[in-house]
C-alpha cells in the first residue's frame, strides 16, 4: 500500500511513471458489511444519504429490464441488490474480499455475480454492458488510476451504453462533512486514508474527456436534504425534490453520465 505522504498528482499527468504510487485498497480496515450497515443502521442523516443514491439512479440513469449492468466498487452489494430486480443481469466487482463475501451471502436475486478484483484493473469482455454504475469509488484511487478506470469502463460499454458515476464534490460543504465524519468516527477515516483524489465538476469533466468519454449529463445532489431527515424522512424527500428542481446548487456529491465518444 502506498504511503499517504506520496503526492499522486505530481506523479501523474498523462500516465503512470514507474515510481507512481498505487492504491490497492484502503489504509484502514473496511468491514464487508459497511455500506449495508450505513443504509440500514446508521444515524438517520447517513441512512438518507445512502438511500439518495438509488433515488438518483432511478431519476437519472435507470437500467432497462433487458440490460446487462456492471457495479464497480460494489462494496457490500447495496446498489447491486437495488439493480438486480430492474435489469437482466448484474456483474459486480470490488477489491475488498470481506465485501465480496458479504455481498455473495446477501444477494437478493440469482441474476448476480460478484467478482474480487481491483477497480482499475477490470478485465472483462469489451462492449458488454448497457449500464455501468461506479458510485463513490474514483476518489479512493490516485488520479492516473482514475483515468485508467474510466478508460477501462469506456471499453466495457456497448455503443449505446451509459456510465453513471458519483464522487464527493470538494467545491461544496463536503470537506467540512468529511472532517466531521472523521472527528465523530461515524465512518472509517476518509481524509487521506480512504479519499486521496479530490474532484470538482471541472476536474471530473476533464478526466472523463481525457479518457475518451462523451458527456451526457453532469450535476450535483445530496445537498441539504439528508440533514432534513433529522426532522422527518418525508421532509428530507421534499427537500430532495425541491433541490432537484433547483439543480442542487448546494449539492455535496457530483454525478455524471457518459457514453463512448463517437469515433
CATH topology of domain 41-260: Rossmann fold (3.40.50)
pTM of the entire predicted model: 0.89
Cell readout for 33 is: 458489511
Contact criterion met (CB below 8 Å) for 79 and 38: no
Report the share of the chain in percent with pLDDT over 90. 75
Question: If pLDDT is split at 50, 70 and 90, which confidence band does 4 have?
Answer: very low
The full set of domain ranges for the chain reads 41-260
81-95 mean pLDDT: 97
Q: What is the pLDDT of residue 52?
A: 97
Is the pLDDT confidence value at 17 over 60? no
Asked whether residue 20 carries a pLDDT value surpassing 70, the answer given is no
225 class by beta-carbon count within 10 Å (0-12 exposed, 13-18 middle, 19+ buried): buried
- Cell 444519504 belongs to 49
Which residues fall within 8 angstroms of residue 242, CB to CB, at 6 or more apart? Answer: none
Amino acid at each position: 500500500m502506498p504511503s499517504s505522504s506520496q503526492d499522486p498528482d505530481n506523479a501523474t499527468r498523462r500516465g503512470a511513471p514507474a515510481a507512481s504510487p498505487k492504491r490497492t485498497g484502503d489504509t484502514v480496515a473496511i468491514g464487508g458489511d459497511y455500506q449495508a450497515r450505513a443504509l440500514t443502521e446508521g444515524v438517520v442523516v447517513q441512512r438518507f444519504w445512502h438511500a439518495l443514491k438509488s433515488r438518483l439512479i432511478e431519476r437519472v440513469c435507470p437500467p432497462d429490464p433487458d440490460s446487462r449492468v456492471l457495479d464497480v466498487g460494489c462494496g457490500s452489494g447495496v446498489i447491486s441488490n437495488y439493480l438486480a430486480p430492474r435489469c437482466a443481469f448484474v456483474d459486480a466487482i470490488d477489491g475488498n474480499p470481506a465485501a465480496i463475501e458479504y455481498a455473495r451471502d446477501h444477494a437478493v436475486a440469482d441474476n448476480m455475480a460478484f467478482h474480487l478484483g481491483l477497480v482499475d484493473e477490470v478485465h472483462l469482455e469489451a462492449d458488454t454492458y448497457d449500464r455501468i454504475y461506479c458510485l463513490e469509488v474514483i476518489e479512493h484511487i490516485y488520479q492516473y488510476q482514475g483515468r485508467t478506470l474510466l478508460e477501462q469502463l469506456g471499453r466495457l460499454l456497448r455503443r449505446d451504453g451509459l456510465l453513471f458515476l458519483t464522487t464527493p464534490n470538494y467545491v461544496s460543504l463536503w470537506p467540512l462533512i468529511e472532517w466531521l465524519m472523521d472527528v465523530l468516527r461515524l465512518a472509517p477515516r476518509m481524509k487521506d486514508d480512504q479519499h486521496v483524489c479530490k474532484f470538482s465538476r471541472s476536474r471530473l469533466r476533464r478526466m472523463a474527456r481525457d479518457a475518451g468519454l462523451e458527456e451526457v449529463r453532469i450535476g450535483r445532489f445530496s445537498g441539504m436534504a439528508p440533514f432534513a431527515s433529522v426532522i422527518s424522512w418525508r421532509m428530507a424527500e421534499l427537500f430532495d425534490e425541491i433541490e432537484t428542481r433547483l439543480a442542487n446548487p448546494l449539492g455535496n456529491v457530483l454525478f455524471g453520465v457518459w457514453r463512448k465518444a463517437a469515433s
